[in-house]
Structures are given as structure tokens and as C-alpha cells.
């Protein structure tokens, strides 16, 4: 009797370990790489490509842009992946699933979409590369299907709820990219 109980207990323990391992593993088909290809709006020639790659500490955001005015330009994820309006107002407001105030990418409380600014050199090119601990690919706060916008003016990280970044000069939609 005692032996049977021991065998049963051992079996249960093994089963629990296996179940825990399954729970910890990422779900099949879970996304780890997103991409947005940005196209220009009216009166704009700004283009760009932005990659979002899952890392241990968050999501690495890398991007390259052309056709910008030299200087600083607000750079956000907006709530809708809808770039259909010529002025890109169809992309809605900053993506903000947690109901936080607008802020800088380094702020503890900020819109999930607050990726800060990109800085263009005199040739109109800009690149960005940083790891964002606020971005997610899973659940309600997933960035997949949302819009990426580059603005005409700098994001001041203060003005609510936009950062006073002005017009929208490029727009793209975050899609699922091939994992590498």
C-alpha cells in the first residue's frame, strides 16, 4: 500500500513538472518580431522601416527613415493601424491601453506608444535603436496591428496628450514579420 502511494506521488510530481514547463514555454505561434513600413503623407516625402524584436528586457526597436527635415521628430505607436487619411488622423491617438499620461520613453508611467523622438541629420536621414520595456506582443496591450507615426515636430514629453509633436508625416502598420 505504502509503495503504491509513493509511486502515485512520484507520478503526480512528474505530471506537475511537465505542466509547469508547458505553462512557462511561449505559446505556439507566439510573435517575436514585428515590422512597420512607413509611407509619406500629403506634403511629405518621409519613408521608413521599423522593426520590433522581442528580447529578455523588452522589445528592441530599430528603425531607419529618409526624407525628414533636419532635427527632432516625435515617434509614436498610435491606437489604430489605419493610415488611410492623407493627414493620418485615421491612426487615432497615442496607443494607451493602461490609461497613463503622455510621457518620455524612459518614464515609468507613459502611453505604451510613447517611443520618444527620432533625430534627422542634415541629409534628412534618421535611425533609432533602443530597447523598450513597455512594449508587448501579447494580450490586450499588443502592438500588433497598431499604427506607427513620425511627426513634423519634436515631442516635448510634457504636453498632454500629444507631446505637441505637430503634423503626421509618415505612417505604417505593425505587422507580423518572420522570426529569425
Residues that bind Cu ion (CB under 5 A): 76, 149
Q: What distance in Å separates the CA atoms of residue 170 and residue 139, rounded to the nearest whole number? A: 27
Query: Known catalytic residue: 114?
Result: yes
Minimum gap (Å) between residue 135 Cβ and Cu ion: 15
Q: How many helices (H) and strands (E) does the chain have?
A: 1, 9
CB-neighbour burial class of residue 132 (10 A; exposed 0-12, middle 13-18, buried 19+): buried
Minimum gap (Å) between residue 14 Cβ and Cu ion: 51
Contact partner, 111, from Zn ion, Cu ion, none, Cβ < 5-8 Å per class: Zn ion
Residue 157: what are its φ and ψ, rounded to 5°?
Answer: 65, 5
Query: Known catalytic residue: 76?
Result: yes
Binding site for Zn ion (CB under 5 A): 94, 102, 111, 114
Query: Known catalytic residue: 51?
Result: no
Contact partner, 102, from Zn ion, Cu ion, none, Cβ < 5-8 Å per class: Zn ion
Contact partner, 73, from Zn ion, Cu ion, none, Cβ < 5-8 Å per class: none
CB 135 within 8 A of CB 94: no
- Give me the active site residues, please: 76, 78, 94, 102, 111, 114, 151, 168
Amino acid at each position: 500500500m505504502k509503495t503504491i502511494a509513493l509511486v502515485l506521488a512520484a507520478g503526480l510530481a512528474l505530471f506537475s513538472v511537465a505542466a509547469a514547463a508547458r505553462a512557462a514555454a511561449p505559446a505556439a505561434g507566439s510573435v517575436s518580431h514585428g515590422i512597420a513600413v512607413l509611407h509619406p503623407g500629403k506634403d511629405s516625402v518621409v519613408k521608413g522601416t521599423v522593426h520590433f524584436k522581442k528580447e529578455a528586457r523588452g522589445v528592441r526597436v530599430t528603425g531607419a527613415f529618409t526624407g525628414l527635415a533636419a532635427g527632432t521628430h516625435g515617434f509614436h505607436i498610435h491606437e489604430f493601424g489605419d493610415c488611410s487619411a492623407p493627414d493620418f488622423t485615421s491612426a487615432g491617438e497615442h496607443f494607451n491601453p493602461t490609461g497613463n499620461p503622455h510621457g518620455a520613453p524612459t518614464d515609468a508611467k507613459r502611453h505604451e506608444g510613447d517611443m520618444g523622438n527620432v533625430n534627422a541629420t542634415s541629409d534628412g536621414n534618421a535611425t533609432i535603436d533602443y530597447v523598450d520595456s513597455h512594449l508587448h506582443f501579447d494580450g490586450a496591450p499588443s502592438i500588433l496591428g497598431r499604427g506607427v507615426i513620425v511627426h513634423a515636430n519634436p515631442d516635448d514629453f510634457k504636453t498632454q496628450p500629444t507631446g505637441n509633436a505637430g503634423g503626421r508625416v509618415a505612417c505604417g502598420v505593425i505587422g507580423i514579420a518572420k522570426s529569425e
